[in-house]
Amino acid sequence: MSKNFRRVGAALFATLTATALVACSSEQAPSDAGSDGGDAAAATDTIVLGFSQVGAESGWRAANTKSIQDTLTAENGFELKFSDAQQKQENQIQAIRSYIQQGVDVIAFSPVVETGWDAVLQEAKAANIPVILTDRAVDSTDDTLYESFIGSDFVLEGQMAGEWAVEQYDGEGYKAVELQGTTGAAPMIDRQQGFADAIAGSDIEVIDSQTGNFTRTEGKQVMEGFLQKYDDIDLVFAHNDDMGLGAIEAIEAAGKVPGEDIKIITVDAVKDGMQALADGKINYIVECNPLLGPDLAEIAKKVIAGEEVPKRIVVKDEAFDQEAAKEALPDRQY
Ligand code: AHR
């Protein structure tokens, strides 16, 4: 543990909290999550950062973990303590409590679900340990419990997916099924809402929705169930690429052609998803950028240095059709 930073952090905490309150409604301009994260503060000592990751459920998550581990290195001024919660909130709470006990300088985590964090975040606050949220938000009325939230706008992602569906398929009476992410997770709640808002008023109808927990295996299982239950599915909206890739397997096993008989829209744009899009098995992908390590490093350094940080950093996302996927694939980092 870096004693210097803990002392400085404790002394600055009251100021930071006041700053956070003032900045609570401020939003930073969209970030491309692409800087090296190294120039934010003149760090003179190692920052010990405890990170609680959601799990290893998807290609997106693997890329996100790599970005964090590649950026929060000793060369960049960090000692990273990393734990994988295996998609369980109780494991994340346990990890955060352990980081508090160890007296780390900063805690960062990507909350598996939105609710139920206030008690443990109060404990971190009482211990004067600043918290940074990455990727997913918490649903709390007290935004002094964390310094900053770095991540994509999931409602917008769902909306972009729905707008494209309307543009392509409105007027054809499409029946859609939705493969939802982990129940209660911010991207599940927000993508569902964004998609529903965008298709409202069109003749696209969501006839069923079920969670596939953001995994390929469960996405396949849920799609198998949908195919047994309905013989008139025209469109799948999968909340991530992995579930969409599972759905492709189920559709092919049922003797139908993914991307033709049943259209597929997903979110993430990881390499496997982009390859399926280039191959015509997926029809459209809205990106969710997982490269959050550099922004996390920069914000952690600023917080420790007592600098003001934005309460919300919105990561910029693109969207891809088949042609765009073919173009982007050769240089795709994840
Ligand atoms: O929170 C981001 C989501 O979590 C990604 O879209 C999904 O693939 C991951 O599991």
From the CB of 135, is ligand 1 less than 6 Å away? yes
User: 108: pLDDT confidence band, cut at 50, 70 and 90?
Assistant: very high
From the CB of 288, is ligand 1 less than 6 Å away? yes
Higher pLDDT, residue 131 or 11:
131
In single-letter form, the type of residue at position 272 comes to D
Residue range 180-190, pLDDT digits in tens: 999 999 999 99
From the CB of 195, is ligand 1 less than 6 Å away? no
Residue range 273-307, pLDDT digits in tens: 999 999 999 999 999 999 999 999 999 999 999 99
* 24 pLDDT more than 50: no
Distance from residue 48's CA to the centre of ligand 1 (Å):
26
The percentage of the chain sitting over the pLDDT mark of 70, rounded to a whole number, equals 87
Residue 49, burial from CB neighbour count under 10 angstroms (0-12, 13-18, 19+):
buried
Distance from residue 3's CA to the centre of ligand 1 (Å):
35
Contact indicator for 154, 289 with CB cutoff of 8 Å: no
Query: Which range has the worst mean pLDDT, 25-29, 269-273, 288-292, 329-333?
Result: 25-29
User: 18: pLDDT confidence band, cut at 50, 70 and 90?
Assistant: very low
From the CB of 64, is ligand 1 less than 6 Å away? no
- The confidence score (pLDDT) of residue 44 equals 59
- C-alpha span between 234 and 277 (Å, rounded): 17
The DSSP result for 186-199, as a single string, is: HHHHHHHHHHHHHH
* 110 pLDDT more than 80: yes
Report which of 154, 145, 152, 150 is spatially closest to residue 127, judged by C-alpha positions: 145
Higher pLDDT, residue 27 or 234:
234
Specify the CATH class of 154-288 in words. Answer: alpha beta
Do the first three CATH levels of 3-151+290-316 and 154-288 match, i.e. the same topology?
Answer: yes
The mean pLDDT value for 151-157 works out to 98
From the CB of 287, is ligand 1 less than 6 Å away? no
- The confidence score (pLDDT) of residue 5 equals 43
Contact indicator for 276, 252 with CB cutoff of 8 Å: no
Looking at the CA of residue 135, tell me the nearest atom of ligand 1. 1
Cβ neighbour number for residue 141 with a 10 Å cutoff: 6
- C-alpha span between 303 and 281 (Å, rounded): 44
From the CB of 238, is ligand 1 less than 6 Å away? no
From the CB of 216, is ligand 1 less than 6 Å away? no
**Which residue stretches of 230-333 are H helix?**
241-253, 271-278, 293-304, 322-328
- The confidence score (pLDDT) of residue 121 equals 98
Fold adopted by 3-151+290-316: Rossmann fold (3.40.50)
Distance from residue 182's CA to the centre of ligand 1 (Å):
9
The mean pLDDT value for 12-20 works out to 34
In the chain, domain spans = 3-151+290-316, 154-288
Distance from residue 58's CA to the centre of ligand 1 (Å):
7
From the CB of 60, is ligand 1 less than 6 Å away? yes
Report which of 128, 112, 195 is spatially closest to residue 160, judged by C-alpha positions: 195
* 9 pLDDT more than 90: no
From the CB of 147, is ligand 1 less than 6 Å away? no
Report which of 183, 190, 263 is spatially closest to residue 218, judged by C-alpha positions: 183
- The confidence score (pLDDT) of residue 49 equals 98
Residue range 51-76, pLDDT digits in tens: 999 999 999 999 999 999 999 999 99
Question: Would you call 131 helix, strand, or coil by DSSP?
Answer: strand
Residue range 193-236, pLDDT digits in tens: 999 999 999 999 999 999 999 999 999 999 999 999 999 999 99
The mean pLDDT value for 321-327 works out to 98
The mean pLDDT value for 47-51 works out to 98
Backbone angles phi, psi at 128, to 5 degrees: 60, 35
Q: Which two tokens stand for residue 115?
A: 């609710």
From the CB of 61, is ligand 1 less than 6 Å away? yes
Contact indicator for 245, 216 with CB cutoff of 8 Å: yes
Q: What is the mean pLDDT of the chain?
A: 90
Distance from residue 62's CA to the centre of ligand 1 (Å):
10
Distance from residue 237's CA to the centre of ligand 1 (Å):
14
